[in-house]
């Protein structure tokens, strides 16, 4: 770590409340608020943190039955005022400091210095409480002890049912379930590099190179960011991009402007010959060597080769790179005939282009093809800078229902000649779109059937129109109707999707449910949610068959609308 201090500083800058350029008073106020939140009883005993990797959702970092004993122990420590109790008070006062200095506090992992403190206080409070009962109310002591044992046993059993039941299934990916298989698979024998990533679109990064550290900087250089702002693009966990990586493949030639330092153009992070492990959301974009499934059978990870990732290599003009695809965002993944949709491409101009270019998008199902072309205005785009191309289209009447693959690529506007990348490919696969037939259920409702019998109908849930902050709670309302009593329980699943992240909210519908009623689904924006638009999907999960049920439209998830999450945290 002593030789990688720039990495540590970049990470600290990514989560530091005292970030450069922010008013000191504002940073100090956030630090104090973060510090106080560590003593909030709701956080300690009931809700815990926002990150499910470190706390069970809906559970505190301590069991609720210990709360009165922690309070008794704390009051006793404050009362005695001796040296040993002073150590405990100092411990309690200073352990949250490291976490309070960062965003998204309180964070159980960053407050790990407090492990053991509350257990000591609870133990002291327990001893004091039973000592008092044995002296003043000896007859009550056995009953009180039995009550404490029952409360502790009941809460521990409830926690174990959640931890070894739904938690291990819902958060298998977040706990990196199944990744051990990657390193044991036969096709990885002899591989030296395995990359686990959430994004296949490796965005560009601008850095300063220290010229005299490793010798001639054109041959070997180490990334030395002059300021975190050069490599950390936006606030949040995804800002940490400053790890010194080897085997970098430059998207544009680096040039020297000063004697000692060289300012690099954007480059791609690349590991030639590596095997990449991607989230299942990216699986549809690339051919997978293998997939890893969770205990339910759902795909968690897709394993692809470095060659497959090169499908998004820069397009060439006269043998030199000119255009690089960085990111793709679909306004919706499910649509019907006559509905509009948009595809936003993030591109980078990585080389000089002497003639005008256009951008083509093709929606192809194997039987049906509909194209959409737009002209790109590149005259005012600086070399090395990224820009957006938005393609807005309407699903044509001749588009039949089914799954469509989306291909895109540039071509010369003058002669309509397509550009090709270094691998000889012209169009790249950038996503998938599902076209459904008709309206949801003929009356504006979503409907599901099982074995030919009507199972459930629901109106599209109400979505918040304003932007939501991280950590903010909101409620979705919808009317559901079960024409017949449910033979088996089902789960109504509402999923919130964005590029590179999602969260789900579930509502249990018990056996025997019948009739029409209005339901409310309460949820909360995770503290680490990405800022930007989210598409909201609904589906019905059958626990007995361990699968999502098909709707009348033949879809497992129905897109019901969009909402936005702001890049700030609710105070």
pLDDT one-digit tens code per residue, 295-333: 777 777 767 665 555 556 678 887 788 888 878 888 887
- Closest Cα partner for 460 from 545, 542, 358, 563? 563
Domain end: 384, 408, 436, which one? 436
Q: How confident is the model at residue 239 (pLDDT cuts 50, 70, 90)?
A: very low
Instruction: Write down the pLDDT at residue 278.
Output: 63
Any residues with CB less than 8 A from the CB of 564 and at least 6 apart, and which?
Answer: 467, 468, 532, 533, 534
Q: In what order do the strands lie in the sheet containing 357-364? A: 334-336, 428-436, 402-412, 357-364, 369-376
Does a structural domain hold residue 17?
A: no
Domain end: 436, 458, 492, which one? 436
Residue 564: pLDDT over 90: no
**Residue, of 538 and 289, whose pLDDT is higher:** 538
- Whether 293 and 330 map to the same domain: the answer is no
Instruction: Write down the pLDDT at residue 157.
Output: 92
First to last CA, the chain: 35
pTM over 0.75: no
* Span 349-378, average pLDDT: 78
pLDDT above 90 coverage of the chain, percent: 2
Any residues with CB less than 8 A from the CB of 31 and at least 6 apart, and which?
Answer: 17, 18, 100, 101
Counted domains in the chain: 4
Strand stretches in 156-252, DSSP E:
194-196, 208-210, 249-250
Residue 255: pLDDT over 60: no
* Span 523-544, average pLDDT: 80
pLDDT tens for 102-128 read 877 888 888 888 888 889 999 999 998
- Whether 565 and 523 map to the same domain: the answer is yes
Does a structural domain hold residue 19?
A: no
Q: Is the dihedral of CA 4, 9, 10, 16 positive or negative?
A: positive
- Whether 42 and 148 map to the same domain: the answer is yes
Q: How confident is the model at residue 221 (pLDDT cuts 50, 70, 90)?
A: very low
- Whether 456 and 558 map to the same domain: the answer is yes
Does a structural domain hold residue 111?
A: yes
CATH code at 333?
2.60.40.770
CATH code at 558?
2.60.40.150
Q: How confident is the model at residue 150 (pLDDT cuts 50, 70, 90)?
A: very high
Residue 192: pLDDT over 70: no
Instruction: Write down the pLDDT at residue 262.
Output: 37
Does a structural domain hold residue 388?
A: yes
Q: What are phi and psi of 467, to 5 degrees?
A: -75, 135
Cβ pair 344, 329 in contact under 8 A: yes
* Span 386-401, average pLDDT: 81
Q: Is the dihedral of CA 101, 102, 107, 109 positive or negative?
A: negative
Geometric angle at alpha carbon 245, from 243 and 247, rounded to 5°: 170
- Whether 304 and 321 map to the same domain: the answer is no
**How big is the chain by its Cα radius of gyration, in Å?**
28
pLDDT tens for 365-379 read 755 677 787 877 777
Cβ pair 398, 293 in contact under 8 A: no
Q: What whole-number distance in Å separates Cα of residue 475 and Cα of residue 524?
A: 9
- Closest Cα partner for 361 from 401, 388, 315, 392? 392
Instruction: Write down the pLDDT at residue 253.
Output: 33
- Whether 131 and 211 map to the same domain: the answer is no
- Whether 184 and 166 map to the same domain: the answer is no
- Whether 218 and 259 map to the same domain: the answer is yes
Instruction: Write down the pLDDT at residue 11.
Output: 58
* Span 239-247, average pLDDT: 30
Instruction: Write down the pLDDT at residue 181.
Output: 64
pLDDT above 70 coverage of the chain, percent: 69
Instruction: Name the range with the highest mean pLDDT among 180-184, 191-195, 206-210, 412-416.
Output: 412-416
* Span 50-76, average pLDDT: 86
Instruction: Write down the pLDDT at residue 169.
Output: 76
Instruction: Write down the pLDDT at residue 360.
Output: 86
Does a structural domain hold residue 500?
A: yes
Residue 154: pLDDT over 90: yes
Mean pLDDT computed over every residue of the chain:
72
Domain end: 265, 284, 308, which one? 308
Residue 205: pLDDT over 60: no
Largest CA-CA distance found in the chain, in angstroms, rounded: 97
Q: What are phi and psi of 510, to 5 degrees?
A: -75, 160
Instruction: Write down the pLDDT at residue 261.
Output: 36
- Whether 341 and 429 map to the same domain: the answer is yes
Does a structural domain hold residue 527?
A: yes
- Closest Cα partner for 322 from 340, 347, 301? 347
Q: How confident is the model at residue 286 (pLDDT cuts 50, 70, 90)?
A: low
Residue 519: pLDDT over 80: yes
Residue 344: pLDDT over 70: yes
- Cβ atoms within 10 A of the Cβ of 499, count? 19
Instruction: Write down the pLDDT at residue 250.
Output: 32
**Per-residue 3-state assignment (H helix, E strand, C coil) for 347-391:** EEECCCCCCCEEEEEEEECCCCEEEEEEEECCCCCCCCCEEEEEE
- Whether 320 and 290 map to the same domain: the answer is no
Q: Is the dihedral of CA 279, 285, 286, 291 positive or negative?
A: positive
Residue 79: pLDDT over 70: yes
Instruction: Write down the pLDDT at residue 501.
Output: 62
**Residue, of 235 and 134, whose pLDDT is higher:** 134
Cβ pair 383, 252 in contact under 8 A: yes
H helical segments located in 185-310: 228-231, 306-309
Does a structural domain hold residue 470?
A: yes
- Whether 52 and 114 map to the same domain: the answer is yes
Domain that holds residue 488: 446-569
* Span 31-53, average pLDDT: 85
- Whether 324 and 295 map to the same domain: the answer is no
Does a structural domain hold residue 441?
A: no
Instruction: Name the range with the highest mean pLDDT among 84-93, 277-286, 541-550.
Output: 84-93
- Cβ atoms within 10 A of the Cβ of 527, count? 18
């Amino acid at each position: 770590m002593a030789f990688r201090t720039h990495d540590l500083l970049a990470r600290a800058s990514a989560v530091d409340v005292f970030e450069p350029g922010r008013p000191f008073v504002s940073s100090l106020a956030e630090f104090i608020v973060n510090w106080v939140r560590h003593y909030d009883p709701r956080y300690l005993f009931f809700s815990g943190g926002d990150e499910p990797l470190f706390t069970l959702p809906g559970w505190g970092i301590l069991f609720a039955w210990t709360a009165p004993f922690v309070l008794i122990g704390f009051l006793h420590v404050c009362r005695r005022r001796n040296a040993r109790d002073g150590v405990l008070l100092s411990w309690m006062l200073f352990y949250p400091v490291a976490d309070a200095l960062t965003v998204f506090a309180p964070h159980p992992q960053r407050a790990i210095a407090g492990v053991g403190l509350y257990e000591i206080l609870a133990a002291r409070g327990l001893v004091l409480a039973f000592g008092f009962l044995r002296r003043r109310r000896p007859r009550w002591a056995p009953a009180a002890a039995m009550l404490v044992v029952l409360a502790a046993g009941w809460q521990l059993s409830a926690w174990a049912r959640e931890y070894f039941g739904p938690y291990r299934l819902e958060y298998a990916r977040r706990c990196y379930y199944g990744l051990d298989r990657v390193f044991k698979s036969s096709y990885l024998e002899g591989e030296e590099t395995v990359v686990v990533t959430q994004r296949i679109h490796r965005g560009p990064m601008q850095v300063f190179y220290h010229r005299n550290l490793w010798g001639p900087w054109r041959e070997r250089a180490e990334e030395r960011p002059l300021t975190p702002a050069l490599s950390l693009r936006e606030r949040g966990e995804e800002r940490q991009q400053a790890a010194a990586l080897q085997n970098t493949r430059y998207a544009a030639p680096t040039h020297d402007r000063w004697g000692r330092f060289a300012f690099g153009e954007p480059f791609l992070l690349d590991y030639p010959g590596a095997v990449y492990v991607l989230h299942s959301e990216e699986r549809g974009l690339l051919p997978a060597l293998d997939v890893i499934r969770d205990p339910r059978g759902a795909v968690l990870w897709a394993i692809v080769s470095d060659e497959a990732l090169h499908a998004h290599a820069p397009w060439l003009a006269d043998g030199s790179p000119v255009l690089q695809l960085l990111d793709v965002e679909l306004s919706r993944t499910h649509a019907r005939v006559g509905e509009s949709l948009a595809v936003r491409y993030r591109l980078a101009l990585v080389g000089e282009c002497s003639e005008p270019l256009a951008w083509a998008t093709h929606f192809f199902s194997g039987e049906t093809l509909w194209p959409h072309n737009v002209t790109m205005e590149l005259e005012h785009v600086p070399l090395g800078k990224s820009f957006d191309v938005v393609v807005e289209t309407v699903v044509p009447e001749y588009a039949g229902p089914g799954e469509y693959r989306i291909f895109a690529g540039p071509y010369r506007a003058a002669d309509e000649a397509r550009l090709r990348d270094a691998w000889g490919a012209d169009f790249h696969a950038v996503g998938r779109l599902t076209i459904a037939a008709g309206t949801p259920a003929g009356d504006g409702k979503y409907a599901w059937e099982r074995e030919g019998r009507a199972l459930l109908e629901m109106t599209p849930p109400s979505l918040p129109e304003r932007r939501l902050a991280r950590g903010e709670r909101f409620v979705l309302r919808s009317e559901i109707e079960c024409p017949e009593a449910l033979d088996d329980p089902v789960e109504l699943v509402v999923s919130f999707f964005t590029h590179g992240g999602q969260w789900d909210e579930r509502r249990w519908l018990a056996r025997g449910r019948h009739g029409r009623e209005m339901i409310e689904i309460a949820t909360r924006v995770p503290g680490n949610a990405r800022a930007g638009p989210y598409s909201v999907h609904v589906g019905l999960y059958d626990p007995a068959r361990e699968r999502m049920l098909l709707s009348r439209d033949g879809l497992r998830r129905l897109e019901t609308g969009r909402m936005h999450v702001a890049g700030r945290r609710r105070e």
